[in-house]
Structure 1
Amino acid sequence: MIAEMDEMLKLWALDMHGGLGASGSGGGSMLGQLMDCKGELIRGSPGGSRMLLPWSADIEVIVNKHLEWPLAQVVREHYLNRDSLDHQKWAHCGCGRTQFYTRLGRAHVAIAGMLLERVA
């Protein structure tokens, strides 16, 4: 996985999808947000990082329209589905742990390449 791409996708999830699981029980409290994020602190303002918003919109289009289905599926599961355990995410994508993270790594490379094409 590409560390910078991982951070961008975390911010994309926060910007475009609220960064909360299906329960959405954060309610604005720090403790509620930590519970929703399963203890994973994502730096940025409480409402999301508006500085990355242009990139978030590009990432949204890439994930929804240009990324091949298996890669888009693992991106959505990994970054947007905070309610499921890891083994449930792998099962939903129809693969094991190794293949899930291989696909996620390929997705990072594909998204980074498409972002670079948009900049050029």
Structure 2
Amino acid sequence: MVKYIDEMLKLWAQELHSDHEGTGGGGNMIAMLMECKGELIRGTRGSRVLLDESADIELIVNKHLAPELAVAVREHYCNYDSLLSQKVMYCGCSLKTYYQRLHDAHVCIASLLGRRAA
């Protein structure tokens, strides 16, 4: 896996897909904007990833990753309640393939984020 992409995906999941934050927004971007009365506050909840980057990652995962890669990313980073074996079973592959999909997703995300920065 690509270490800096792994860290970004962890923060992306925490910012946009976490119900464990205890805020009224529950990690939902729309709910957070409503809670802030539409005022975008960068770095909400002490995040190290800018909301712009989280939005880019959200778009990449939802629109640009192959479906099997997107499922692996969502399971790995957003599914806090399942065991690793359950995540692998949900993806319908072996453990080795699961980690290969995560690696492939990291490489793809890094590539797409690099193009946007250029």
After TM superposition, is the score higher than 0.5? yes
Give, in whole Å, the separation in 2 of the partners of 1:102 and 1:79: 15
**2:2 equivalent in structure 1:** 2
**1:15 equivalent in structure 2:** 15
**CA RMSD, aligned part only?**
1.9
Give, in whole Å, the separation in 2 of the partners of 1:50 and 1:3: 15
**2:83 equivalent in structure 1:** 85
Give, in whole Å, the separation in 2 of the partners of 1:117 and 1:70: 22
Q: What's the TM-score once normalised by structure 1's chain length?
A: 0.75
List gaps (5 residues or longer) in structure 1. 29-44
Q: Which has the higher contact order (CA 8 A, sep 6+)?
A: 1
Runs of 4+ aligned residues of structure 1 deviating over 4 Å after TM superposition are: none
Give, in whole Å, the separation in 2 of the partners of 1:107 and 1:12: 14
Q: Deviations over 1:70-116 (max 9, x none)?
A: 10010000000010000000000001110000000000000000001
Give, in whole Å, the separation in 2 of the partners of 1:89 and 1:65: 21
Give, in whole Å, the separation in 2 of the partners of 1:11 and 1:106: 19
Give, in whole Å, the separation in 2 of the partners of 1:68 and 1:103: 10
Give, in whole Å, the separation in 2 of the partners of 1:16 and 1:113: 22
Q: Is the 8 A contact 1:11 1:52 kept in 2?
A: no
Identity %: 55
List gaps (5 residues or longer) in structure 2. 24-42
Aligned length: 99
